[in-house]
């Protein structure tokens, strides 16, 4: 193998020699050295550097690299490209942390020297070089958090100065690391907030191939913990005041606020503005929940009915009707609640809805007051008991906790049945059919049962 390498090297030298038989005193070769001899030696060193990298002889390659960096660093970009390959291989082969650190430092020095000599390159200038350096820093020095922030900030500053904008891919990586630092108590919340505010504009109007970067950027912010309701309001309240109908802005703020579980007045204002521009069932349901939690039941009911009007999925319609019925119950609008629960059942008549029967029973029982205080009122509990008894086996399949509550409710309804004596004087035989004659359950058929 050694003989083969020697032969290849000799052949390479002969080819190189024939190539440089041309006039090296020409102006285009001046970058390789002051004299023709220096130029020839350095051009050969550049070729030998390439050859030794291919042969994986990194010690000899390092010798040629040092010669080129000392005598003609501005001669070729390839000196630095190959130098990076050289030191990354030496880093991977280092046998001690101290040795590895020396090679890592040399790698970063190469990037700095490349900026010095090729920073003005129209495509691969300072911004390009510092971006590559930041990527390498994250690979080899991720534990140096301050250093990592500085190299990314330098890369971003160069992008802004040269290109007038920031590469979203670079900004995402930097911001993710910044959020990690916040989680580890290295930077404070306002550092995150200021960074988000600074870089968010570079994620606007991205093409489809980069849309995922904005998702990642917002996800990092939302998951950082720095996006408190108070901080979000400080950043976005003046922006929304200045542009209240900006759908993209409202969508962004809406997502951030509700990922942070914000339910303050500012959050509600944003949600209602966003819903007015983009009325979606999911937003209406969220608004309904917030207003319900605030015990503003009329507004909650309004948004649930808005959601219902837009929803087409049968399962979601069932759930919405149940929620509307519960809200009507909370307002003691038992007739409206009964209507909603019955509509829920009718969404899919072939599939019984345990919750609907459970709440219907309560509506009829609670609405029995108009029947007075005698047997007529107590008879309503026969029908309420029928409904809750139907609900129990269904709820046992879906919600054990509610099923237990339903069993308890059934017991309380049984205790409210008319006594045997009352039924005897009313000439009602145990088990006989009975049609309720008053209240919300008027016209419903049930069976006589003694308490």
Q: Would you state the pLDDT for residue 286?
A: 85
Query: Where on the phi/psi map is residue 125: left (φ > 0), alpha (ψ -120 to 50), or beta?
Result: beta
Distance CA 258, CA 284 (A): 13
DSSP letter (8 states) at residue 261? T
Range with lowest mean pLDDT among 299-303, 312-316, 351-355? 351-355
Q: What is the mean pLDDT of the chain?
A: 90
Determine the average pLDDT of the residues in 313-342.
93
What does the alpha-carbon distance between residue 131 and residue 114 come to, in Å, rounded to a whole number?
12
Kindly report each contact of residues 274-281 with a partner whose C-beta sits within 8 Å and lies 24 or more positions away, as own/partner.
Answer: 274/247, 274/250, 275/303, 277/245, 277/247, 277/250, 278/247, 278/251, 279/306, 279/310, 280/310, 281/307, 281/310, 281/311, 281/316
- DSSP class of residue 215 equals H
Q: Is the dihedral of CA 213, 216, 220, 222 positive or negative?
A: positive
Give me the pLDDT at residue 22, please.
67
Lowest mean pLDDT among 62-66, 236-240, 346-350: 346-350
Please tell me the predicted confidence (pLDDT) of residue 204: 86
Among 25-34, 91-100, 253-262, 356-365, the minimum mean pLDDT is found in 253-262
Task: Calculate the alpha carbon distances from 150 to 67, 116, 133, 180, 181 in Å.
Answer: 31, 18, 11, 15, 13
Strands (E), 287-432: none
Question: Hey, what's the torsion of the CAs at 12, 13, 14, 16, to 10 degrees?
Answer: 90
Write the CB contacts of 313 (distance below 8 Å, at least 6 apart in sequence): none
- Portion of the chain with pLDDT greater than 90, in percent: 69
Is the pLDDT assigned to residue 196 strictly greater than 70?
Answer: yes
Tokens of 335: 């007739």
Q: Tell if the pTM clears 0.75, that is, is over it.
A: no
Check pLDDT > 60 for residue 96: yes
Q: Which of 344, 374, 349, 278 is nearest to 363 (CA)?
A: 344
**In the predicted model, is pLDDT for residue 10 greater than 60?**
no
- Burial status of residue 158 (CB atoms within 10 A of its CB: 0-12, 13-18, 19 or more): buried
- pLDDT score, position 289: 84
Whether the pLDDT of residue 295 is over 50: the answer is yes
C-alpha–C-alpha distance, residues 367 and 348, integer Å: 26
**Token pair 């269904």 in the structure block, residue:** 394
Look at residue 126 and tell me whether its pLDDT is greater than 80. yes
pLDDT value for 278: 87
Q: Please list the residues that pair with 446 across neighbouring strands.
A: 434
Q: Can you say how many angstroms the Cα of residue 449 is from the centroid of all Cα atoms in its chain? A: 57
Query: Per-residue pLDDT averaged across 270-291, rounded?
Result: 88
Q: Residue 294: its pLDDT value, please?
A: 85
Residue 12 has a pLDDT of 46
- Longest CA span, the chain: 130
Tell me the torsion sign for CA atoms 220, 226, 228, 234: negative
Label residue 3 by pLDDT band (50, 70, 90): very low
| Res 85: pLDDT | 97
Task: State residue 221's pLDDT score.
Answer: 87
Task: Pick from 11-15, 92-96, 244-248 the range whose average pLDDT is largest.
Answer: 92-96
Mean pLDDT of 353-369: 93
Pick from 97-101, 279-283, 364-368, 411-415: least confident: 279-283
User: What CA–CA distance (Å, rounded) separates 75 from 330?
Assistant: 82
pLDDT at 4: 43
Quick one: pLDDT at residue 120? 95
pLDDT at 227: 80
Kindly state the helix (H) or strand (E) to which residue 435 belongs, with its residue range.
strand 433-435
The stretch 118-146 carries a mean pLDDT of 96
The pLDDT of residue 291 is 87
């Amino acid at each position: 193998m050694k003989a083969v390498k020697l032969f290849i090297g000799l052949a390479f030298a002969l080819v190189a020699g024939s190539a440089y038989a041309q006039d090296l005193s020409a102006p285009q070769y001046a970058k390789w050295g002051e004299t023709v001899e220096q130029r020839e030696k350095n051009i050969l060193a550049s070729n030998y550097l390439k050859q030794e990298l291919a042969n994986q002889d990194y010690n000899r390659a390092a010798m040629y690299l040092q010669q080129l960096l000392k005598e003609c660093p501005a001669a070729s970009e390839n000196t630095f490209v190959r130098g990076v390959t050289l030191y990354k291989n030496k880093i991977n082969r280092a046998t001690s942390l101290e040795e590895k650190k020396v090679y890592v430092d040399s790698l970063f020095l190469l990037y700095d020297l490349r900026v010095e000599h090729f920073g003005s390159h129209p495509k691969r200038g300072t911004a390009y070089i510092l971006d590559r350096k930041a990527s390498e820093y994250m690979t080899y020095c991720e534990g140096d958090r301050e250093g990592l922030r500085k190299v990314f900030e330098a890369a971003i500053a160069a992008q802004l100065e040269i290109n007038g904008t920031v590469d979203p891919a670079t900004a995402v990586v930097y911001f993710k690391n910044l959020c990690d630092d916040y989680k580890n108590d290295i930077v404070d919340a306002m550092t995150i907030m200021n960074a988000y505010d600074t870089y968010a504009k570079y994620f606007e109007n991205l093409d489809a191939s980069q849309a995922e970067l904005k998702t990642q950027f917002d996800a990092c912010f939302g998951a950082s913990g720095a996006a408190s309701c108070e901080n979000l309001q400080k950043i976005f309240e003046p922006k929304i005041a200045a542009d209240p109908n900006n759908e993209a802005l409202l969508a962004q703020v809406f997502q951030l606020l509700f990922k942070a579980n914000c339910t303050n007045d500012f959050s509600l204002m944003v949600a209602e503005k966003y819903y007015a521009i983009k009325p979606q069932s999911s937003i209406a349901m969220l608004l309904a929940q917030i207003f319900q939690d605030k015990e503003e039941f009329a507004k909650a009911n309004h948004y649930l009915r808005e959601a219902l009007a837009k929803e087409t999925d049968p399962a979601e319609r069932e759930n919405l009707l149940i929620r509307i019925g519960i809200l009507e119950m909370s307002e003691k609008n038992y007739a409206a609640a009964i209507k909603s629960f019955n509509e829920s059942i009718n969404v899919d008549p072939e599939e019984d809805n345990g919750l609907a029967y459970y709440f219907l029973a309560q509506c009829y029982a609670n609405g029995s007051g108009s029947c007075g205080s005698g047997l007529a009122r107590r008879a309503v509990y026969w029908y309420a008991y029928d409904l809750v008894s139907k609900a129990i086996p269904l709820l046992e399949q879906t919600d054990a906790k509610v099923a237990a509550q339903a069993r308890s409710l059934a017991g309380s309804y049984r205790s409210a049945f008319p006594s045997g004596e009352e039924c005897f004087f009313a000439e009602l035989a145990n088990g006989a059919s009975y049609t309720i004659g008053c209240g919300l359950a008027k016209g419903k058929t049930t069976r006589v049962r003694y308490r």
